[in-house]
Amino acid sequence: MTNQRPVVAVVDDDPRVLESLEELLEAADYSVRSFLSADLLLRAGLSGIDVLITDIGMPGMDGFELRDAVKAARPDLPVFLITGRHEITDQDRAKGIGGLFRKPFDAQILLAAIGDVLR
């Protein structure tokens, strides 16, 4: 029997956040691939990924740059941005950018948003 669980890739430079998201997503029956940087995800490739969750504030390529690179390669791949920076969230909401979650975020709202884009 093959594993048909949707694959969620998570990119965050904080190992504690990665672990927390892995536990949340696996408990919700998703398969999870975790990466400590945007570069590591891009080197691993985007094939087989159904949803991407990325932190915004990371060294090197930030979450906005990663989202843009991913959208250029796979325009259909849903991308959710997470941030602990309140000012970024407010600016992006003002621009009408969806899929943005401010830490600490409501896990059930994130899971519902993932479920919505996978339907």
- Residue 43, burial from CB neighbour count under 10 angstroms (0-12, 13-18, 19+): exposed
Give percent above pLDDT 90 in the chain. Answer: 76
pLDDT of residue 94: 47
- Residue 106, burial from CB neighbour count under 10 angstroms (0-12, 13-18, 19+): exposed
Is residue 82 within 8 Å of 52, Cβ to Cβ? Answer: no
In the chain the domains, ranked by start, together with CATH numbers, are 7-118 (3.40.50.2300)
Given the structure tokens 């990924």, which residue do they identify? 49
| Structure-block tokens of residue 3 | 């594993």
Calculate mean pLDDT across residues 4-25.
Answer: 96
- pLDDT digits over 30-71, tens only? 999 999 999 999 999 999 999 999 999 999 999 999 999 999
pLDDT of residue 4: 87
Please state, rounded to an integer, the average pLDDT across all residues of the chain. Answer: 89
| 71: number of Cβ within 10 Å | 13
Cα separation, 82 vs 4, whole angstroms: 26
Q: What are phi and psi of 92, to 5 degrees?
A: -70, -35
- pLDDT digits over 83-94, tens only? 887 766 555 554
pLDDT band for position 104 (cuts 50, 70, 90): confident
Q: Is the pLDDT of residue 97 over 90?
A: no
